[in-house]
Chain A
Amino acid sequence: MLLDSREPGGPADEAWSRAKKDYRLVGTSNRRKFTIIVVGTGLAGAGSAATLADLGYNVISVTYHDAPRRAHSVAAQGGINAARAKKVDNDSVSRFVKDTVKGGDFRGREREAFRLAEVSAGVIDHLNAIGVPFAREYGGSLNTRSFGGVQVSRTYYTRGQTGQQLQVAAASDLARQVNAGRVKQYVRHEMVDLVVEDGRAQGVIVRNLLTGELKPLLGHAVVLATGGYGNIYYRSTLAKNSNASAAWRAHRRGAHMAMPSFIQFHPTALPISTEWQSKTILMSESLRNDGRIWVPKEPGDSRPANDIPEGERDYYLERKYPAFGNLTPRDVASRAAKDVIDAGHGVGPLKNSVYLDFRDAIARLGRDEIAARYGNLFHMYDDATGEDPYTVPMRIAPGAHFTMGGLWTDYQLMTSIPGLFAAGEAGFGYHGANRLGANSLLSACVDGWFTIPNTVPDYLAGHLGKPVISEDSPAVTEALESSYSRFDRLLGIEGQTPPRDYHRRLGEVLYKGCGVTRSAEGLIAAIAKIRQIRSEFYEDLLIAGPVDRVNQELEYAGRVEDYLQLAEMLCVDAYDRDESCGAHFRVEHQTSGGEAKRDDESWAKISAWESRGWSDEPVFTRHTEPLEYEAVPLEVRDYR
């Protein structure tokens, strides 16, 4: 089946203004008759909930955190892009679009990249107004820095804590509406199912994480701003509680999942050094502005970094990609790191990392300047490793990070279930097969403050006069019962193995089979292993602790159950897309120089998956949407 992206026609660079002109409106006095449920309080969730409430709608906001400010957007340290083009480095909206589309290896929607660029200036203005202390030049104007895949300086930042400052501002924007009584806030509640009646999303089932109580929250539309699922790899750069459950439960109710195998491996994560290490900490990509990446030329060279003379170091990114050097995009940098590690040049106790060296930058700029630019990141590195990065090079390695794939949405951010919207990382549209650094905070903000508040009213305008469904309607009863029986089933297994064990095993299978590189053979093997783990999960899961109070093991078990299903779809998608593009590198498809070889003839399209039959052998159906490029013609991606 061909999917309709409902993009506005006409020239791509005017698409967003034209769309906004055509959107239907809801009159100011009618807005309070509509209730919108927003799940998640990160930048996309808090932004949409706050703005919809400010417009006059009733908003219900749900988060599993104890406070909206803790959403994982808080951790995106590096910066936020904006095509404000205030400098003379020749930046522009069209250059932004070109970088984003090319960075994503021509697998994202061009028109959405235009929206991202067009709205970006307003995002910075709004964030500045609500209290983000952006870095400034001495005279007082906004300062910027560069990120990978881009040759201009368009990234706005607040030291190494941009995500934190944006998230705190977003949470305060939401708090203003909570305080005014326009948003009903549910904290410590997790979405466990979606209510679909008359073919429309009309509510969610939430579980109170303190009491275990399940209850329906009902409205006219549902916005899922629940983030990405990179944690499926067990050790990732994500917060430990980030999960796929809300998006996956929506998928199980009929929302297509677009290109789930498009997962970014961040090149500057800290390497795993011990078994009980719970995650891989992310170091900001901005470090690559001044840090130089190298490995010893001699495989297996185990001398301390500072004892290896200049002539015996291989600055492999600068060697292979002289035009971009250490600032090549993330997929290219991650793959290059994997290549040198696999070839025996890896450093550190487990030989699983590469050096990120500030020696030359400190000599050039002085220690104080480096401390001013990256001090908190250096401090964090020191904390995590006990090594002083001012005197010894940092060690970094690729780690599972951002998911470019997610719920399929049309240009209005509506999923294949009418009334269900996805915003931020939970959706998929902008980034193609690889996200450029500092575009994630931007896409979440654009969706939250600017896209959803235009597109949700367009949908609601067609439903004026329709009441919220009642708590005893059949769809609500069915969703509640199915949620109860799901938890009962998990609790009834009474086996011996805690959920963490399954998650850990799944992560190993995915890193190996569907990691920085993939092969048909490896993916088939991974699918078989995932099915094996899933069947063991249903035979031997152990959930410790009480049911009617806080039970983190039960929460965890539900999330792992969802991962064990999503993981299979992820591998099916990676197997099906028989080409290399961006972060999806199929070893069967590479140039003689080892670069990704795209197949535009067959694969310039979006794959959106439907699945059924999970109680037995799942059946997957792929729907497609052709991708067209008008402003940025298809070309071979080359960063040399």
Chain B
Amino acid sequence: MKLTVKVWRQGTPADDGRFETRTVNDLEPSLSVLEMLDKMNDDIVKEGGDPVTFESDCREGICGACGILVNRRPHGPTPLTPACHQRLSSFNDGETVTIEPFRSGAYPVVKDLMVERSALVDVMDAGGHVQVAAGTAPDADTDRITYDTAELALDFAACIGCGACVAACPNGSANLYLGAKLAHLSMLPIPASERGMRADVMLAEADERFGPCSLHGECALVCPANIPLVAISYVNKERMRCALRGKND
């Protein structure tokens, strides 16, 4: 199959970007959108041009490195699927596909489709961890965690950190990402003992870096890890809990 690709080109963070239109031939519907970019880049390089910079790594939907807007939608047309698993079978032969970097105030463009997502890391670094030193942990079987609790915690822990939720949000809010972590750690006995402190510092950091949530719900529609929308409710729940208790636990 053949696609016409309108792809965003931007040399440096300071440049004004622009769309470049190219045709990519000899594609197979089973290829991923990223493999289509590989092929396009090969054509560009062989013509003596500068290939389109984009990020990807595991290409198995787990590392969270990839993330682009395909026809204005984070990752692409297939719901709950990362860009590395978005297949060309979603498009018709000869169709025009628009590819851009994630658009958000929190994600400055580095080059072409590559953006800087360090704001996500900063929120996690602030308090998304548990203070237990190696070798001092109790036997994992001592604290019983029921099947249902462990499974629910895992639903929230599944976040791959791609940041599509922020890119999809009209406000640029990171509440799905943030709420997923707060929810996950609040359900496990040892991590839960530091809930108050965690909520306090992570929320302070997130308030500075991202927009507020006004319940649009766009985030959960594009999440490749299928994080439930209810994650966003944990942000206010943990905020309230921390304020009312005034303690670190």
A75 near B134: Cβ-Cβ < 8 Å = no
- In the complex, chain A residues 214-257 whose Cβ is within 8 Å of any chain B Cβ: 239-241
A138 to B157, CA, bound (A): 19
B61 near A380: Cβ-Cβ < 8 Å = yes
Across-interface contacts of A274 in B (CB, < 8 A): 28, 30-31
- In the complex, which of the residues A125, A178, A544 contacts B139, with contact meaning CB atoms closer than 8 Å? A125
Question: Knowing A129-B138, A164-B160, A550-B114 touch, does A281 contact B42 (C-beta < 8 A)?
Answer: no
**B57: shortest Cβ distance to chain A, in Å?**
4
A259 to B160, CA, bound (A): 35
B157 near A70: Cβ-Cβ < 8 Å = no
Across-interface contacts of A386 in B (CB, < 8 A): 30, 87, 89
Most buried by B among A176, A187, A279: A176
Q: Is B50 an interface residue (CB 8 A)?
A: yes
Across-interface contacts of A450 in B (CB, < 8 A): 134-135
- In the complex, which of the residues B27, B50, B127, B133 contacts A546, with contact meaning CB atoms closer than 8 Å? B50
Across-interface contacts of A176 in B (CB, < 8 A): 129-131
B145 near A279: Cβ-Cβ < 8 Å = no
A239 near B59: Cβ-Cβ < 8 Å = yes
A383 near B87: Cβ-Cβ < 8 Å = yes
- In the complex, chain A residues 54-89 whose Cβ is within 8 Å of any chain B Cβ: 54, 65-67, 69-70, 72, 74-75, 77, 86
**A589: shortest Cβ distance to chain B, in Å?**
35
- In the complex, chain A residues 391-428 whose Cβ is within 8 Å of any chain B Cβ: none
Across-interface contacts of A134 in B (CB, < 8 A): 140, 150
Q: Is A1 an interface residue (CB 8 A)?
A: no
Question: Knowing A126-B134, A131-B185 touch, does A66 contact B35 (C-beta < 8 A)?
Answer: no
Across-interface contacts of A465 in B (CB, < 8 A): none
Contact-size category for B: 35 or more
A133 to B160, CA, bound (A): 15
Q: Is A173 an interface residue (CB 8 A)?
A: yes
**B128: shortest Cβ distance to chain A, in Å?**
6
A173 to B136, CA, bound (A): 14
B85 near A136: Cβ-Cβ < 8 Å = no
- In the complex, which of the residues B81, B125, B135 contacts A383, with contact meaning CB atoms closer than 8 Å? B81
Across-interface contacts of B58 in A (CB, < 8 A): 70, 72, 74-75, 239-240
- In the complex, chain B residues 100-129 whose Cβ is within 8 Å of any chain A Cβ: 110-111, 114, 116-118, 120-121, 124-129
Our count of residue pairs bridging A and B at CB distance below 8 angstroms stands at 226
A130 near B132: Cβ-Cβ < 8 Å = yes
B85 near A131: Cβ-Cβ < 8 Å = no
Of the listed stretches A8-16, A139-147, A359-367, name the one at the interface; the rest are far from the partner chain: A139-147
B134 near A549: Cβ-Cβ < 8 Å = no
A179 near B57: Cβ-Cβ < 8 Å = no
Annotate A537-557 by CB proximity to B: 1 below 8 A, 0 otherwise.
Answer: 000001011100110110000
A385 to B64, CA, bound (A): 21
Annotate B176-216 by CB proximity to A: 1 below 8 A, 0 otherwise.
Answer: 00000000110110110000000000000000000000000
Q: Is B53 an interface residue (CB 8 A)?
A: yes
- In the complex, which of the residues A77, A126, A175 contacts B129, with contact meaning CB atoms closer than 8 Å? A175
Q: Is B144 an interface residue (CB 8 A)?
A: yes
Q: Is A442 an interface residue (CB 8 A)?
A: no
Q: Is B38 an interface residue (CB 8 A)?
A: yes
Most buried by A among B60, B117, B184: B60
User: CB-nearest residue of chain B relative to A383?
Assistant: B85
**B163: shortest Cβ distance to chain A, in Å?**
10
**A500: shortest Cβ distance to chain B, in Å?**
7
B141 near A86: Cβ-Cβ < 8 Å = yes
Q: Is B95 an interface residue (CB 8 A)?
A: no
**B174: shortest Cβ distance to chain A, in Å?**
14
A496 to B184, CA, bound (A): 51
Q: Is B221 an interface residue (CB 8 A)?
A: no
A278 near B62: Cβ-Cβ < 8 Å = no
Q: Is A449 an interface residue (CB 8 A)?
A: yes
A173 near B160: Cβ-Cβ < 8 Å = no
Q: Is A344 an interface residue (CB 8 A)?
A: no
Across-interface contacts of A179 in B (CB, < 8 A): 125-127, 129
B140 near A277: Cβ-Cβ < 8 Å = no
B63 near A70: Cβ-Cβ < 8 Å = yes
A277 near B50: Cβ-Cβ < 8 Å = no
**B97: shortest Cβ distance to chain A, in Å?**
16
Question: Knowing A135-B150, A240-B56 touch, does A545 contact B134 (C-beta < 8 A)?
Answer: no
- In the complex, which of the residues B11, B135, B149 contacts A126, with contact meaning CB atoms closer than 8 Å? B135
Q: Is A328 an interface residue (CB 8 A)?
A: no
Across-interface contacts of A470 in B (CB, < 8 A): none
Annotate A114-153 by CB proximity to B: 1 below 8 A, 0 otherwise.
Answer: 0000000010111111110111111111100000000000
Across-interface contacts of B190 in A (CB, < 8 A): 128-131
B62 near A161: Cβ-Cβ < 8 Å = yes
- In the complex, which of the residues B49, B125, B138, B154 contacts A133, with contact meaning CB atoms closer than 8 Å? B154
B160 near A449: Cβ-Cβ < 8 Å = no
**A619: shortest Cβ distance to chain B, in Å?**
35
B184 near A281: Cβ-Cβ < 8 Å = no
- In the complex, which of the residues B49, B78, B161 contacts A544, with contact meaning CB atoms closer than 8 Å? B49
A72 to B62, CA, bound (A): 9
Q: Is B12 an interface residue (CB 8 A)?
A: yes
A135 to B63, CA, bound (A): 21
A141 near B141: Cβ-Cβ < 8 Å = yes
B140 near A124: Cβ-Cβ < 8 Å = yes
A67 near B138: Cβ-Cβ < 8 Å = no
A549 near B12: Cβ-Cβ < 8 Å = yes
User: CB-nearest residue of chain B relative to A160?
Assistant: B62
Across-interface contacts of A133 in B (CB, < 8 A): 145, 150-151, 153-154, 157, 184, 187-188
- In the complex, which of the residues B28, B42, B153 contacts A500, with contact meaning CB atoms closer than 8 Å? B42
User: CB-nearest residue of chain A relative to B156?
Assistant: A133
- In the complex, chain A residues 260-283 whose Cβ is within 8 Å of any chain B Cβ: 273-274, 276-279, 281-282
A165 to B185, CA, bound (A): 12
Across-interface contacts of A336 in B (CB, < 8 A): none
Across-interface contacts of B140 in A (CB, < 8 A): 124-125, 127-129, 134, 142
Q: Is B55 an interface residue (CB 8 A)?
A: yes
B64 near A70: Cβ-Cβ < 8 Å = yes
B132 near A498: Cβ-Cβ < 8 Å = no
**B52: shortest Cβ distance to chain A, in Å?**
10
Q: Is A296 an interface residue (CB 8 A)?
A: no
A129 near B137: Cβ-Cβ < 8 Å = yes
Question: Knowing A137-B147, A175-B125 touch, does A281 contact B59 (C-beta < 8 A)?
Answer: yes
A380 near B150: Cβ-Cβ < 8 Å = no
Question: Knowing A75-B58, A130-B132 touch, does A142 contact B141 (C-beta < 8 A)?
Answer: yes
A278 near B144: Cβ-Cβ < 8 Å = no
Question: Knowing A72-B58, A175-B128 touch, does A544 contact B154 (C-beta < 8 A)?
Answer: no
Q: Is A159 an interface residue (CB 8 A)?
A: yes
**B208: shortest Cβ distance to chain A, in Å?**
15
Q: Which B residues are within 8 Å of any A CB, using their own CB?
A: 11-12, 27-28, 30-32, 34-35, 38-39, 42, 44-46, 48-51, 53, 55-65, 78, 81, 85, 87, 89, 110-111, 114, 116-118, 120-121, 124-135, 137-141, 144-147, 149-151, 153-154, 157-158, 160-161, 184-185, 187-188, 190-191
Q: Which A residues are within 8 Å of any B CB, using their own CB?
A: 47, 50-51, 54, 65-67, 69-70, 72, 74-75, 77, 86, 122, 124-131, 133-142, 158-159, 161, 163-165, 168, 171-173, 175-176, 178-179, 187, 210, 239-241, 273-274, 276-279, 281-282, 380, 383-386, 449-450, 453, 496, 498, 500, 542, 544-546, 549-550, 552-553
- Beyond the given A142-B140, A179-B129, could you list 20 further A-B residue pairs with CB under 8 A, ordered by the A residue number? A66-B116, A67-B117, A74-B62, A125-B138, A128-B188, A134-B150, A161-B154, A163-B62, A164-B158, A164-B160, A175-B128, A276-B27, A276-B38, A278-B34, A383-B78, A385-B30, A453-B134, A550-B110, A550-B111, A552-B51
Q: Which 7 A-B pairs have the closest CB atoms?
A: A140-B144, A128-B140, A129-B137, A172-B129, A133-B153, A449-B134, A176-B129
Query: Can you sample 17 A-B contacts with CB below 8 Å?
Result: A67-B161, A69-B124, A70-B65, A122-B135, A128-B190, A130-B191, A133-B188, A138-B147, A139-B146, A140-B145, A164-B158, A176-B129, A241-B57, A277-B30, A383-B61, A500-B38, A552-B53
